[in-house]
Structure 1
Amino acid sequence: MQPMTKYMWRNIRDSLGRFIAIILIILLGVLIFVGVKATGPALNDSLNTTVKQDKLTDIQLLSTTGFTSKDVATAKKVAGAQAEAVKFKYVNGSKGQVVALYGDQSGQQLNQLTLTSGHRPRHNNEIVLDQRAQRSFGYKLGQTYTFPTDAKLARRQFKIVGFADSPLYIDNAQRGSANVGDGAVRYFAYIPASQMKLGAASLLNIRFPSLQKTDTFTDHYTDLVRAKEKQLKKVFKNRAVTRTREVLAPTLKTLDQQQNQLDAAQKQLAAAKQQVASASNGQMTTTPQIAQQETALQTAQKKLTAGRQRAEQSVKTTYTWQTRDDLAGFSAYGDSSERIAAIANVFPAFFFLVAALITFTTVTRMVEEARGQIGAFKALGYGKFQIALSFLNYALLAGVLGTVLGAASGNWSIPRIVIALYKNEYIPLQPTVAFQWGTAALAGGFALLATVGAAIIVVREQLAEKPAALMLLRAPKSAKRILLERIKPLWRRLNFNQKVSYRNLFRYKSRMWMTIIGIAGGTALILTGFGLKNSIEASGSRQYSDIIKYQAVVRLTDDSNGSAAHQVLTKDSRYRSRLAVTADVADISAHGRKQADVNIYASAAPKQLNRYIGLHTNRGAAITLPQKGIVLTDKAAKQLNVSVGDTVTVKTTDNHRGRAKVTAIATNYIGNYAYLSATAYQTLFAEKAVVNTLLVRLRPQTANQRNTLARQLLKNGEALGTSYTVDQKKTVGNMGKMLNPVVMIFILLSGVLSFVVLYNLTNINVSERIRELSTIKVLGFYNQEVTMYISRENIILTGAGILFGYAGGNLLTAYILHQAETAQIIFPLSISWTGYIIATLLMIAFTAIVMFVTHQRLKRVDMVEALKSND
């Protein structure tokens, strides 16, 4: 073995703690950098694998007249399409719960169920329920499930034989909405298709195998699905007319038969009239009996004509198209993985930067400590490259080990931990984690830059000196007067040890700043972890306390003025007040940009609106709806790049179009809104604002009270549906829950990194100053005094680092939140006192642990050997 190679291994053996510390710091940095960067793609890949395995449809088609085998054949005209027609409808189930009911049929290939227990229906009296019905509503295998009569099924009672998951419902917290019951679907169910009294299938599932290799959550997939949907609409355009004729055919056949009978009766009546006229020599052409028959036939003809018109008007085939984005929870899942990916672009990079900076310092100190050996090797005739190679290999080995271990463990562990923790929020996912070679290579490059790069810089500097100069001790830095000395009253009150500590702080400025940066970085990272959690939660709490002050939204039927709904509301004991508004959805454009699906509210009582919606600027000034112009919320304004005074174009879903000036920009956290007075609405669209929605303020309600009120409004209040803000708030709250696993990983690893950094820097500090510490120990200082001699510096630097960390944590959190924003959500910066307290206590605890370890080490130091050393 070459002498320089032996020296390297001896160096590793003699400074094993430092070598391991370098590996650990690099490992932690690479682990979180690669692991978190891999989490977003892994979440998408895992869901893609799961829904591909279950053959989730790409497009769903609902029809007002149902589907037959001809419709399935029509769908298959589009190249590569797989199609299945199934029976489906929303019904009231047991205990008044709304159920998405499907007909189970043999040979069904698409949207396959995954049984969590039991088996599929084998007999006409068996039913399989959503696993949510078991988990949230307490249903059990073997129980009897009873539907009310209005479900209109072949039988009412079924035996529960299984519970299942469906790729149509990936989010365990929501199952969508319906136009029956209280309007909120609680779970899905499958019964034999023969038990559903439907003349034809009501849902057509369409899947394209060619699209399954594409990530569902990419724009490329969306474009491909739109192209397929366009082709399907083209072939179904002609099919809609044909299907209408097919449905009308039996009715028209009956009406034609009646028409034929009526025509025959008309002929008989005409013949009778002719006979009467002949018998009376043309004097009398009718009789009372003939007149009566003629009147009856005319009446029958009118009824028959009206019946034909009603039949033709009542039967018209219209289609409703849905993609995966329309499935409950699907878009939210994609948004969640996007937020994690956005966080991964910032947080791990900062984490890794701190780790790399400390590693750079550690390697630099390691080389500088070896000045004497470098000088000796130069004096013995070794070349510069041979000497440098020893230190470069040391750094390379540490960097490679840290990178490989960190990349492998990070890519394998963090995504799988997050996916496993998602099981409470989503259906069980098939973990699919691809190794992030690009990210690992990038992390490895930075790791080698911090280790080998540092070694190159310092070794080159050392090798430039003469051997004699290298083998001599460097003169210690001279102390200088510090600012604190100029404050005489304070300086006189400090004892000798305190004065020495303060002077030493500024004597070694690089060590001071590295310690402060290390502590500040750790504090900032921990604080950022809490800040992300708090800020995401704050978006929901502020939206539904400061902005949205109503508790329910009641959507009215087209011919309702709200009076019937008002009567139902006033009978409810939890009712407080209501405000009638005009609600619409529009696309708003300006400066070549467009913001789709903006919710528009127009009110004829602008002053009362403030009791229901808190409109205010980001400076807190209240906003009153003007007689002309429009008020936009800040996210929509930012997306459109407009400010107060700019003009925007508004186009509603009903194709009403107009231009309006932006009069104010209101603070909002979730969704995009535009507010107008009724006068401004009429000016904008040249049409009077028609009330179609009630904003309702209610006292706190239980879930049963909310469901009862929603059912009453649907039944007697001329309402299309009722939505509660508590449900929306819960959905937003789930976003924070979904990020909790990632945030806790951030906090845990940040704490570990902070401890390793502090320990490493203190270890370097002690190693560099071992002669100084041995000197004061020889002079009679007690062990506690020797420890405090150096620990006092750590305490001061920890305090300073914590304060800098507060500022850094806020800045880092704000930047990450900005990156994690979506087109619909703004996250306000919010860090609770808990985050500050825990970050502070952790740093204090780490400092205390390091002080204890340092104290034990200094108690055992060999003073004579330390003072004899030339290091």
Structure 2
Amino acid sequence: MKPLTKNMMRSINQAKGRFIAIILIIMLGVLIFVGVKATGPSLNDSLNKTVADKNLSDVQVVSTTGFSNKDIKLAQKVAGAKAETVKFKYVLGGRSKVAIALYGYDKAAKQNQLIIRNGRLPKNDHEIVLDKNARNNYDYKIGDTFKFAKSADLKRRSYKIVGFVDSPQYIDNQSRGVTNIADGQVSLFAYVPQKQMNMSTASMLNIHFNSLKDKNTFSKSYKSAVDKKVKLLKNEFKGRASKRTQEVASSYLAILKQQQTALDQLKAVNPTMAAQKQAQLDASKKKILKNAKTTYTWQTREDLTGFSAYGESSDRIAAIANVFPVFFFLIAALITFTTITRMVEEARGEIGTFKALGYTKWEIAKNYFYYALSAGVLGVILGAVIGTETLPRIVLGMYKQYIALDWVITSRWQTIAIALVFSLLATVGAAVIVVRKELSEGPAALMRPKSPKSAKKILLERIKPLWNHLSFNRKVSYRNLFRFKSRMFMTIIGIAGGTALILTGFGIQNSITASGNDQYKDIFSYQAVVKMEDDANYQKVDTILNADKTYKDNTRINSATAKLKAGSKQVNDVNVYTPESIKNFKKYVHLTANLKDKEVVLTTKTAKLLNVQVGDKIKVALTSGKTVTLTVGAITKNYIGHFFYLSPQVYRDKIGDFKSNTLLLGLHKQTAAQRRKLANKLLDSKQVMGTSFTHDVFNTVSKMSALLRPIILILILLSGILSFVVLYNLTNINVSERIRELSTIKVLGFYNNEVTMYVVRENIILTIVGIIIGYGIGNLLTAYILNQAATEQVIFPLTIHLVGYVVATLLMIIFTAIVMLVTHKKLQHIDMIGALKSNE
């Protein structure tokens, strides 16, 4: 081994702590950068693999009158389309009479294949497979009997459970969608043999395109391609609804025609009786035509329960990955750059010696390059492997309680390459800059110690009353802080960065939770929305409500859905609320802008998407077909969904006769069973179309927060570790740089505690300053990430609870205390004589 190499190996051995610290800092930076960057794509890859393997349909169509073979052929006219029909309806069943999405099982079906989690699929008419949630949440077992309500209209009411499954149509374990029966929430899905369902035709048409199978289901190209396919399908089905209505109605109308012939003969014999029967016949005819009317509901994957929420969750992680790890990595790279710089500067005596012995600049420099390169590469390899293999797996493992997928984790070589480049810039780049600078000096200058920086008067010294009351030690500490400015800034950056990252972790978690709390506690004070039938008897509903012990009060409103347009901007599915009484409405919906008699109020996110302000005009297209132009009178805060509020006067002036069609209910705290019971009673009254509870929506938002919790906890933990390593490393640099100074004051008779405080006092001041600056950076970083993570439907208020500040502060104080103890032990064993020996 050459002398230069031997010397470098000896240096690494003597300062193992510094070499390990460089590797650890790079490793942490790369780990978080690569790991978080890999998590979002891993979520998407997992879903893409599942939907591709199980042939999830790209388009689903639900018909009120069912589908025939004609419809399958019609759908398959679109290039590449494969169409299948399935029997489907919502029914009541189980021990608790919950709402169930019931499908007819057909083993020949190619699309939406089930994922068996336990047991097997049905083979006989008396067998059923249930949603995995039936086992997990309702304690059903294989071999148990599952019973449906009589209203389910099946060939038998009881079936033997032979398996539990997941479905690519229901990826979200926490939600199964909404319906207009029971409490409005679907609790389970189930499959019975198709022949067991008393339905003359299939009610759902599934369409799949093989050409779209390899596309990322959340990509713009996939969505664009699906939109084009839906447009082509709708074009093929143009006019089909009326023809289908005639097909369905024709058999019934044929019977009525026979009755009409008999009735015509009766008119000659008994006109009075004939008139009565004619009225009954006309009513029957009208009812048949109404019930046989065909309407199609078109859905894409985005409309499936939990699908959009999953994509949004993935997008939020991507938003975090675009900011949090980058900031984390920049801090790591900056500290590494400083460490390498100090290491080379400390070796100037050795560089001078080797230069005097005749070694070339390259021979001297390359050893320091190799030192930096080895630390950087080792850090990158460890960080990339641990980041790719552990972080996504931990997060996805925690996601399993929410999402029904088989996970796929792939290495992101582009991200690893970026991390490698930045790591080498921080290590080798620092070595190149400093070695080049040192080698420009002559051997004699290099072998002499670097002249210490001269102290200058600081601002505090000019405040005489304060300065004169400070002790000698404090005066020295304050002077040294400004004497070594680069170290001061590095320590502040390290502490501020760590504090900011920890605070950001808490901030993201708190803000996502706050969106639900602020919406359903501060803005909305009602607990349920009851959608009434067109000719509902409100007195009957009031009787049911008053008999319920959880009921408090209600207010009546007109609710509708509209499409809002302003210029080229458009927002769909906006909830339009018009109260019967503005005064009563204020008890249930707390707007930050008053709803006046002649005004309309728009919510914040909707206004932003439309790019409108107070005084601007918007076009409102209601689902009823009415389109009006209104002026925005005020903009109010809102965090979830799109809402548009009208006064009754504006409604009458611009839209037409005002009629209430919805109740907002105030309820005491309810259990799930109480919600189901109330919803069922209201539905059984025949006056109510359906009931939805804000509790269910709030739970969905809470789940969004829960989905991010694993990754937030990991980010907080790693931020804390980075902060500790940074503080420890910078303190070590501080001590090694000032070893002669510290030895001098020790020789002069300073006690061990005084020598320690001589150094640590500076750390305490810099830690306090760093924490305070970190508070500000943490808020800015959180606000930026929340802005990036916001979706079209949800925005997040910047919220960081006190516990976030307390934890971030306490961690920094604990880290400073640990470093103080380690430094104290180290300073007790300083070789004062060796340190004070002159190099000359």
TM-score by length of 1: 0.92
Three-state SS of the structure 2 residue aligned to 1:564 is: helix
Give a deviation string over 1:559-606, Cα, whole Å, max 9, x none: 236443333222222222211111112222224322222211112322
Moved more, 348-357 or 653-662: 653-662
What does 1:331-370 align with in structure 2 at a 5 Å threshold?
331-370=308-347
Three-state SS of the structure 1 residue aligned to 2:570 is: strand
- How many Å separate the matches in 1 of 2:565 and 2:346? 65
Q: Is the 8 A contact 2:113 2:167 kept in 1?
A: yes
2:421 aligns with one of 445, 462, 482: 445
Q: Is the 8 A contact 1:21 1:756 kept in 2?
A: yes
Give a deviation string over 1:529-585, Cα, whole Å, max 9, x none: 111111111111111111011111111122236443333222222222211111112
Give a deviation string over 1:437-496, Cα, whole Å, max 9, x none: 222222222222222222222222222222222221122122333344445554455443
Query: CA offset at residue 391 of structure 1?
Result: 2.2
Corresponding position of 2:224: 223
Three-state SS of the structure 1 residue aligned to 2:200 is: coil
- How many Å separate the matches in 2 of 1:308 and 1:42? 57
> Does 1:527 find its partner at 2:503?
yes
Three-state SS of the structure 2 residue aligned to 1:98 is: strand
Corresponding position of 2:385: 408
> Does 1:813 find its partner at 2:791?
no
What does 1:325-724 align with in structure 2 at a 5 Å threshold?
325-427=302-404, 429-488=405-464, 490-560=466-536, 562-616=538-592, 623-685=593-655, 687-716=656-685, 718-724=687-693
- How many Å separate the matches in 2 of 1:578 and 1:514? 60
Amino acid at match of 2:506: F
Q: Is the 8 A contact 2:183 2:692 kept in 1?
A: no
Amino acid at match of 1:121: P
- How many Å separate the matches in 1 of 2:208 and 2:384? 37
Q: Is the 8 A contact 1:175 1:185 kept in 2?
A: yes
Amino acid at match of 1:168: Q
Name the CA shift for 1:624/1:607 in 2 (closer, same or farther; >3 Å): farther
- Gaps in structure 2 of 5+ consecutive residues: none
Query: CA offset at residue 500 of structure 1?
Result: 2.4
2:730 aligns with one of 752, 761, 782: 761
Corresponding position of 2:23: 23
Give a deviation string over 1:117-154, Cα, whole Å, max 9, x none: 22222222222211112211222222222222222111
Corresponding position of 1:165: 166
Amino acid at match of 2:15: S
Three-state SS of the structure 2 residue aligned to 1:237 is: coil
Three-state SS of the structure 1 residue aligned to 2:549 is: coil
Give a deviation string over 1:157-190, Cα, whole Å, max 9, x none: 2222221111111111111111222222111111
Query: CA offset at residue 257 of structure 1?
Result: 5.5
Q: Is the 8 A contact 1:74 1:239 kept in 2?
A: no
Corresponding position of 1:121: 122
Amino acid at match of 1:611: K
Name the CA shift for 1:841/1:138 in 2 (closer, same or farther; >3 Å): same
Amino acid at match of 2:701: V
Query: CA offset at residue 87 of structure 1?
Result: 1.5
Query: CA offset at residue 27 of structure 1?
Result: 1.4
Three-state SS of the structure 1 residue aligned to 2:60 is: strand
Amino acid at match of 1:415: P
- How many Å separate the matches in 2 of 1:733 and 1:258? 59
Moved more, 671-680 or 373-382: 373-382
- How many Å separate the matches in 1 of 2:767 and 2:602? 46
Query: CA offset at residue 213 of structure 1?
Result: 0.8
Query: CA offset at residue 6 of structure 1?
Result: 4.4
Name the CA shift for 1:526/1:305 in 2 (closer, same or farther; >3 Å): closer
Name the CA shift for 1:476/1:310 in 2 (closer, same or farther; >3 Å): closer
- Gaps in structure 1 of 5+ consecutive residues: 267-289, 617-622
Give a deviation string over 1:70-118, Cα, whole Å, max 9, x none: 4333332322222222221111112221111112222232212222222
Corresponding position of 1:197: 198
Give a deviation string over 1:495-537, Cα, whole Å, max 9, x none: 4333322222222121111111111111111111111111111
Rg larger for: 1
What does 1:3-402 align with in structure 2 at a 5 Å threshold?
3-94=3-94, 95-237=96-238, 239-255=240-256, 292=269, 311-402=288-379
Give a deviation string over 1:218-268, Cα, whole Å, max 9, x none: 2221111122222222333355455444434433454566677789x79xx
- How many Å separate the matches in 1 of 2:822 and 2:55? 58
Q: Is the 8 A contact 2:491 2:770 kept in 1?
A: yes
Query: CA offset at residue 688 of structure 1?
Result: 2.4
- How many Å separate the matches in 2 of 1:668 and 1:447? 43
Give a deviation string over 1:632-654, Cα, whole Å, max 9, x none: 11111122222222222222222
Query: CA offset at residue 302 of structure 1?
Result: 8.0
- How many Å separate the matches in 2 of 1:814 and 1:84? 47
Amino acid at match of 1:21: A
Amino acid at match of 1:625: L
Amino acid at match of 1:744: L
Corresponding position of 1:278: none
- How many Å separate the matches in 1 of 2:283 and 2:768? 88
- How many Å separate the matches in 1 of 2:672 and 2:145? 24
Q: Is the 8 A contact 1:606 1:624 kept in 2?
A: no
Query: CA offset at residue 717 of structure 1?
Result: 5.6
Amino acid at match of 1:758: L
Three-state SS of the structure 2 residue aligned to 1:168 is: coil
Three-state SS of the structure 2 residue aligned to 1:825 is: coil
Moved more, 457-466 or 147-156: 457-466
Query: CA offset at residue 291 of structure 1?
Result: 5.2
Corresponding position of 2:764: 795
Three-state SS of the structure 2 residue aligned to 1:651 is: strand
Name the CA shift for 1:257/1:551 in 2 (closer, same or farther; >3 Å): closer
Quick one: percent identity of the two aligned structures?
57
- How many Å separate the matches in 2 of 1:591 and 1:309? 43
Corresponding position of 2:711: 742
Give a deviation string over 1:762-800, Cα, whole Å, max 9, x none: 111111111222222233333333222212221221122
